[in-house]
Amino acid sequence: MFTFTLKKLGAGFVLLIAIPAIAFLLMGASAGNVGRNILGPAASNEQVERLNSELGRDQPLLQQFLDWGGRALTGDLGASWYTNEPVASAVVNRLPVTVSLVVTTTVLAALIATVAGVAAAVYRGWVDRTVQILAIIGFALPGFWVALMLALVFAVRLGWFPATGYIAFTASPAGWAQSLVLPVAALALGAVASAAQQIRGAVIDTLRQDWVRTLRSRGLSARRVLFVHVLRNASVSGLTVIALQFVGLLGGAVFVERIYALPGIGQVLSNSTAQGDIPIVLGVLIATTAIVVLVNLFIDLAVAFLNPKARQS
């Protein structure tokens, strides 16, 4: 179990190093004259050159990368090229918004998808058909499209929810919940749809296993076999699909934060991308990759706990 965890940690670490490194080199190579972009057309060439050398942009790309990488390893991710705000604080301050959005959505989507998927697998018939049709529709409609439509109907037309803005949980729990209703609903639809389909399939496959019949032959009720044994076995693929959904939700958050004006890292990412503020973009990328690695590690450990066979490989 220990080597298993270590292996997964190692793989995650490689990802955490590789992704920002590749991004740095690609972005650095194509960023153009950063000093000119920041100072605008009115600045003199001397001013632009001075800024470029301050930012290290006059060095060869590889040197820039080594400088940046060396500082990044010590925890110093630099500062925004435009506002001078340290990257670490820019990201960390926005992280709670995105995390509360994505985690709430994941938990909610996992619950709904499990109930719907298990019901479809166990009852089949019309329950199954209804779940299937809803799942296809939910999958097909782009998350940001749903977000737009929900905003149009419930915030603009009906005015039931705030159209924009985020209220911190610590400021007002009720306000926090209300500000998250539409964003979470928009994000959850697609996640529920895919996860319900997968969970349905996993439960149907598990119910067909020979050992289900054998356990029933020992006098255990169908309900007990379902809840104790079948769900435990099916949960392995359930968790895997939820991990994938989580990654998808981080992407969806970029749109949803933009539409509902939530100050999360998705919004920071789209703003800094538009400006070409590379240090911030890299910071967001590192944070996102770290979250993905952590979630995958957590899921791997959970799967290993649930499936004794996986612990060995």
| Residues 16-75 contacting other proteins, CB under 8 A | 18-19, 23, 26-27, 29-32
Radius of gyration of the chain (CA): 24
Exposed / middle / buried, residue 10 (Cβ in 10 Å: 0-12, 13-18, 19+): exposed
3-class secondary-structure state, position 50: helix
- Looking at 13, 123, 145, 160, which residue binds other proteins (CB under 8 A)? 145
Which one, of 68, 67, 36, lies nearest residue 285 by Cα? Answer: 68
Rounded Cα–Cα distance for residues 197 and 206 (Å): 14
Q: Could you tell me the smallest distance in angstroms from the CB atom of residue 68 to other proteins?
A: 15
Annotate each residue in 209-228 with x if it binds other proteins (CB under 8 A) or - if it does not, as one string.
xxx-xxxxxxxxx--x---x
CB nearer to other proteins: pick between 109 and 281: 281
Determine contact, residues 230/244, Cβ cutoff 8 Å: no
Considering only residues 82 to 121 of the shown chain, the ones binding other proteins according to CB under 8 A are none
CB nearer to other proteins: pick between 93 and 270: 270
Q: Could you tell me the smallest distance in angstroms from the CB atom of residue 274 to other proteins?
A: 7
CB nearer to other proteins: pick between 79 and 265: 265
- Looking at 203, 226, 250, 262, which residue binds other proteins (CB under 8 A)? 250
Task: Say which DSSP state 308 is in.
Answer: G
User: Using the rule CB under 8 A, is 142 a contact of other proteins?
Assistant: yes
Considering only residues 294 to 313 of the shown chain, the ones binding other proteins according to CB under 8 A are 296, 306-309
CB nearer to other proteins: pick between 100 and 233: 233
**Contact region for other proteins (CB under 8 A) — 46-54, 63-71, 87-95, 266-274?**
266-274
- Looking at 52, 114, 198, 233, which residue binds other proteins (CB under 8 A)? 233
Task: Say which DSSP state 141 is in.
Answer: S
**Contact region for other proteins (CB under 8 A) — 49-57, 58-66, 80-88, 134-142?**
134-142
CB proximity list for 206: less than 8 A, separation 6 or greater: 212, 230, 233, 234
Which one, of 286, 244, 266, 246, lies nearest residue 97 by Cα? Answer: 266
# of chain residues touching other proteins (CB under 8 A): 73
- Looking at 162, 175, 248, 263, which residue binds other proteins (CB under 8 A)? 248
Determine contact, residues 188/108, Cβ cutoff 8 Å: yes
Q: What is the largest CA-CA distance in the chain?
A: 86
Task: Say which DSSP state 85 is in.
Answer: -
Q: What region does 44 belong to: left with phi over 0, alpha with psi -120 to 50, or beta?
A: beta
Which residue is associated with the tokens 């960390």? Answer: 92
**Contact region for other proteins (CB under 8 A) — 62-70, 108-116, 146-154, 171-179?**
146-154
Q: Could you tell me the smallest distance in angstroms from the CB atom of residue 87 to other proteins?
A: 14
Q: Could you tell me the smallest distance in angstroms from the CB atom of residue 308 to other proteins?
A: 4
Q: Could you tell me the smallest distance in angstroms from the CB atom of residue 145 to other proteins?
A: 6
Rounded Cα–Cα distance for residues 55 and 35 (Å): 8
CB nearer to other proteins: pick between 50 and 258: 258
CB nearer to other proteins: pick between 152 and 168: 152
Q: Could you tell me the smallest distance in angstroms from the CB atom of residue 214 to other proteins?
A: 4
Whole-Å CA distances, 36 to 26, 41, 42, 58, 59 = 20, 7, 9, 13, 16
3-class secondary-structure state, position 31: coil
CB nearer to other proteins: pick between 176 and 311: 311
